[in-house]
Structure formats: C-alpha cells, structure tokens
Chain A
Amino acid sequence: MFFVLELDKEIELPPRFFGPRLRETLEQKLHSEVEGTCSGAYGFIICVVSTESVSKGIIREGTGSASFNVKYKCVVFRPFRGEVLDAVVTQVNKVGFFAEAGPLQIFVSSHLIPEDFELTTADEPSFVSADGEVRIQLGSEVRLRVVGTRIDASDIFCVGTIKEDYLGVIGDPQA
C-alpha cells in the first residue's frame, strides 16, 4: 500500500556548497539519500514529494560541514498481509516462483499455486495450467495476495498466494 508520510532526515553538506544554490543541493542530496531505501518502520521510500522545512544549519566542529534537519513528504510503499499486488515474475524454480512488485520481492510457493498448474522444466522452467493456456514464466505479470510479511530493519520480504479467486496471471512477458 502507498502512503504519503512526513519524515525528517539529517543531511550534512560540506562547506563548498554554502552559497546561493544551497537549498537546491540539499534537496538533491535528500533525493539521492532516501529514495529507494527501505526502513522497517515505514517501508520502501519510493520518492520525495516535497521538502516541507529545512532547519538552520549547524556547523560541525572539525569538518566545517553543516548539518540540516530536513522535513520532507514522501511516498512510501509498504506491503500488508492480505493486500493484493501486481508483480512481475523474476524466477521460476521447483519450489515456486519469485516476483517483484517494484522494490519488493515476493515468493509464491507451489503450495499456493492452484493445483492444476504443473511445473515444466523442458526449456525455461515455468508453471503451466492443465489446459496449457496459462503459463507462469520469467516476465509474466501476476496478481497475488500477500499472505505473510517479514519486516526487518532495512528489508521487507513477502510470501504470496495466487490460489484464490481473481488472482493469477494477468499478462504474458513483453516481447
């Protein structure tokens, strides 16, 4: 699920940036330091929407760098148990398959794939439905439900299912 959150971050700038473009540099640095990171408390920080306020800089003794406390709004992505996500299959193996929804990796085990799907390893490993019409392979798009999440300090991992109504393959790999 996506949220807009207001978070803050200490940013340190070396003295060579003290000048007319200081605020711009601060924002650039904020983007590069927080976007794409993951915190256990909030989830993946997808993008910074705006900077709300910047505190007065405090010069650090010794280095001459200034540290600023920046409050910013950002979009975070955090998966929840029971949530339905669209994801792209990244690996198929004998145990199940892995899929990615943006930065999040999700594993779907063969227990949570409908029984009529069978693994074939003839060429590329893939799960194929009994009638041969639906194929889960590398690059397939699937809609899945998150059944379990593990949230560590700096990483989130999910286990998902496609063994429910309206879940399953929604698109074949792009040519």
Chain B
Amino acid sequence: MGEASSTDSDSQQAVPPREQNGAAQQATSLEHPEPREQNGAAQQATNLERPEPAAASQPNPAAKALAAGPSRRTLLRPGKRRRTEDGEGPSAAASCPPHPGFMHGICIRCGALSTEADDTAVAFKYIHEGLQLSGQEADRIRSQHLMRVLNSRKLLLVLDLDHTLLASTRLTDVDPDCQRKLHGLLELEAQGPESARRLHHLPHMNMWTCLRPFVREFLEAAHERFELQIYTHGDQDYAREMARILDPTRKYFAERIISAGDSTRKHVKNLDVVLGAEAAALILDDTEGVWPEHRHNLILMHRYIYFPACANRFGIQQPSLLQRDTDEDPTVGPLATVLGVMQRTHERFFAATDPASQDVRSHLGDVRREVLAGVELVFSRVIPLAEFQPERNPLWQLAVELGAACAEAVSERTTHVVAAADHTSKVRWAHKHGKPVVSPDWLYAASFMWRKPDEADYGVAAYAQAPAPLSREEDMAAAAAGAGGGQGDYPQQPVSCEADKAAAAAVPGW
C-alpha cells in the first residue's frame, strides 16, 4: 500500500518471493479471521500489500488448506464429501432444468442465468430481495419442514403483530390528555426492570407501541413447542422494529419476518410465502378475512385495542383500554387462553400416531368443538326467516364449529336461546322453561374465550341497543389501515354497517 513508484517490470522481477509472501499472509489472515464487512475486505487487500496479477493470486484450494494448518483440515473432511459426490444419489438425479429457483436471476443450483420467467415462481422477498423459488421447490422445502416438525416436535406458529401481540399508534393520533397519561406510564415503567417494560415510545418511528400483557411469557412458552414467524401487513421497517422490541436477542424469530409487500396478493395473507407445511402451521391473527384460504389453521384473537385511535378505526364505541386506565389481565387474558389452546392442539398433533391424522387443522377443530359441547341452540331474530338454508348462516356455522348443536325449533333438548330481540315467542318459551337467553355476542365470546361464557353477561336487551359493527370488508380494510400503527394505504373510513359482529364483540372479564 502506498508504494506509488512500483512499475510493471519491477513487479515481474519480484514475483516468486512475493507469491510465497502473499500465500503466507493469506494463511495468517485465515488463522485470525475477522468478520469481513466492507472495511474488512479493504483490510484483507492491504494485507496483500502488493497484490499479484491474476494468475498468481489464487493458490489452489488444497494448498490453501495445507497452509491453514491441521485443525482446519479436520473440519474440511474431504473423504466424506467425496463419498456423497460419487454416490449416484438423489443429487445426481436432480438436475437443472427445471431450475429450482433464482437468486437475482442466477439459478440456485446450477448457477445459470435465468432466461424466461417462471409462472409458478413465488418471490420470497423477506428472505432476500432477489430470491424466487419455483412452486416445486417451495413444496419440497415444505415437505422437508413437515419431516423436521415430526423430529423436533415443533409446529409452526404464524403470528400477526397489530392488535394481536401489541398495539401501535402514531404520535399524532394521541390527544394531549392521553399523551400525558402515556408519559406517566412510561416513567413508571422506567423504574421497573427492563424486561417488564411494555410501553415503548418510538419517536424515530413516530409511534407509541404497547405490548399486550403476557406477551413475553407467551413467546417464551410458545417457543418451546413452536417455530415462531411474524406475518404482518405493516411495512418492513415497522415489522423489524417490533420484532426487536418483542425479541431483543433474536431468539424467537431470527429472520422469519414477513411484512407488507412480501405477500403474493395485496391485503391477503397466505401461507404460500411461509416455508412450512400447512398441516403443521397454526396462525394467530385478529382479522379472519385476511386468511381466506387458511381459515382452519387460524386461531382468531380478540383484538387488543389499547389506543383510542385503534378503537375509532374499528368503530368500537367503548373507550380504549388506555382511556379506561386498565389493561387485560395477564393470567386469564386472551394470550394466556390461546396459549392453552395451542398447547392442547400441539399435544393432540403429536399424540396421533397415524401420519394421515397429523394435521393441525383437524386437531384445532376438535379442540374448538369442545367449547360448547353438549349445548343445543335455537336462534331467534338472528337468522332472517327468508333464509333458505339457515345452516349456512355464519352464526349457525360458528355454533357448529364450537361444538354446539343447532335446531330451528325449540324442543326439550334445547339448552340456550340465542336472540337478537326480546319478547319473541322463543324467548318467552325460554323464560317459561328456565332456559338461558343470550345475545349472539355470547357465541363470539365463546369463540374468543374457548369456554362457555357466563350467560348473565350477555343479555339481549343491551345487545339490541348496541350500534351495528363493521362488515367484513370494512373490518379487513380497518385492519389493513391499522397495520404498522396506521401506516396502511387503505383509506380510513370506519362507517358502521351490519353483519359480522365478531370484530366488535365485547368480552366482559378481559
């Protein structure tokens, strides 16, 4: 370095000694390798002092290995490699084309440059911006994942962020009153241990973030039995920042963070970008509509509405948790509840010995059917009379999924009447026979709480006066807008509409 006067003839004369010198130095740099980043490389180049012309610069690998010393050679174990190379194993059979995938247009197996686009290819941008895998390759990795699941006894768990594990809001969406409250809470938490901090003020992201109570314990417990993966509609910076808060040691998620733009279709989440077997994947999300193809993998979470802006977005009339100066109970709250459900599903999955029945979808369904087992429902003023097939009504289906039997008319087997209005003939019958009358919210609450809720909390009179919740489309739109603490590109438009009560269903006791 810095030898400005060296000329070409000079360097040619000096080649033999310098080659030795160069090789030795390369070896020393191997003995003390440093993490090589941009400047590391510069340093390596400086070690070479006067780099040789092309032919001399690259000693053959064997010589390099010798120079590196005996300890390195044992690690390389050439014998072992040779056996796998010579054996006409599956590797010899599998060859390009078809190319399994491309990295920046280079085939990941044969190194050829891509020539034409592959229709089945799916981009895996969250792994690397240039990575594309063919459908077959993704399936192959998924089937490998299933094998690994069976060996390691760890299922895949796909986690949503917003309103599931945490809540975020933009600084500008917080009014001065709440802001004072938040700063007070922040100071209070600053006195406690670092690990117990839930509220985070992120001025660089222009955001307040509050972790759901019990989330750290939840992740720790889930980590034992599940491989965790984040899948959010927030943008990448947001997703990484939240992952850093949830998982500072990168123990749970590593690189498995899928954010907006990684999905194959806009505003819809799909397991096709998750390299895991569908039969071994559970999903935790607060919006059912974004998983159109994977409803049976989904555990629907009750929304965590901590900030007032979240409540507004989903059209919830009740004040948010922050405004009420309260929060979910960590021991019996939603996360603790679903953790129990996940663990039961996990146990059933691995208790099954028949490989055909090792499917989380059926086991999750079984767990769900236990919730209202032994209950027989009759609906009143819930399903329109004109409906030709009442069993196709979403509420009817939900009740069946929860294990309840449904009937069109009352009988002695009827245990509950689900009514949207008072003083119907079925309701009067129920009062006469001492059967509980509950509002449809009771069913939703059962689906969130994974047990039979207390009937007394779900009176019909209060239900009939409550405003109508968002429709499914609006609910999805609101969820998309809320992703990333309100950075979504959906217009913010919470207008109330009927149907789909699930989003706003209040669950007393949480």
Contacts and interface: CB of A to CB of B under 8 A. Distances in A.
Contacts of A44: 41
A150 B104 contact: yes
Contacts of A143: 61, 64-65, 76
B42 A111 contact: no
B407 interface: no
A163 B62 CA distance: 15
B455 to A, nearest CB: 44
A12 interface: no
A83 B58 contact: yes
Contacts of A2: 45, 48, 51-52, 57
Contact of A4 (B51, B106, B154): B51
A84 B80 CA distance: 19
Nearest to A82: B111
Interface in A153-172: 157-159, 163-171
Contacts of B81: 114, 163-168
Nearest to B149: A121
B40 A102 contact: yes
B46 A47 contact: yes
A100 B44 CA distance: 13
Interface in A58-106: 75, 77, 81, 83-84, 86-88, 91, 93-96, 98, 100-103
Interface in B36-58: 36-38, 40-42, 44-46, 48, 50-54, 57-58
Interface string A128-160: 000000100001010100111110000001110
B85 interface: yes
A116 B35 CA distance: 27
Contact of B75 (A50, A123, A157, A168): A168
A1 B54 contact: yes
A26 interface: no
Interface string B137-164: 0000100110010001010000000000
Given A93-B255, A94-B275, A159 B42 contact: no
A174 interface: yes
Contacts of A146: 111
A11 interface: no
A84 B58 contact: yes
Contact of A164 (B42, B58, B85, B141): B85
A104 B52 CA distance: 20
Contacts of B42: 35-36, 46-47, 102
B33 interface: yes
A50 B51 CA distance: 13
Contact of A114 (B52, B84, B101): B84
A83 B255 CA distance: 29
Given A47-B1, A94-B275, A112 B36 contact: no
A109 B52 CA distance: 32
Contacts of B44: 46, 102
Contact of A75 (B6, B51, B61, B113): B51
A95 B51 contact: no
A2 B144 CA distance: 39
B3 A94 contact: no
B54 A93 contact: no
A150 B85 contact: no
B108 A107 contact: yes
Interface in A1-16: 1-4
A91 B103 CA distance: 15
Interface string B212-247: 000000000000000100000000000000000000
A49 interface: yes
Chain B contact patch, size range: 35 or more
Contacts of A147: 110-111
B41 A102 contact: yes
B3 A50 contact: yes
Contact of B128 (A77, A107, A122, A139): A107
B106 A170 contact: no
A174 B35 contact: yes
Nearest to A2: B51
A83 B108 CA distance: 16
B30 A115 contact: no
B17 interface: no
B58 A170 contact: no
B355 interface: no
B384 to A, nearest CB: 48
Contacts of B30: 86, 170-171
A106 to B, nearest CB: 9
B65 A166 contact: yes
Residue of A84, A88, A121, A147 ringed by the most chain B CB atoms within 10 A: A121
A115 B75 CA distance: 16
A30 interface: no
A51 interface: yes
A24 interface: no
A87 B34 CA distance: 10
Contacts of B64: 84, 143
A25 interface: no
Given A35-B42, A165-B85, A166-B76, A95 B141 contact: yes
Interface in B105-121: 105-113
Given A122-B152, A168-B77, A115 B89 contact: yes
Shortest 9 CB-CB contacts between residues of A and residues of B = A102-B41, A148-B111, A147-B111, A109-B108, A50-B4, A148-B106, A46-B45, A111-B109, A157-B104
Given A148-B106, A150-B106, 10 more contacts: A94-B144, A102-B42, A107-B108, A107-B128, A109-B100, A109-B103, A122-B152, A143-B61, A159-B107, A165-B78
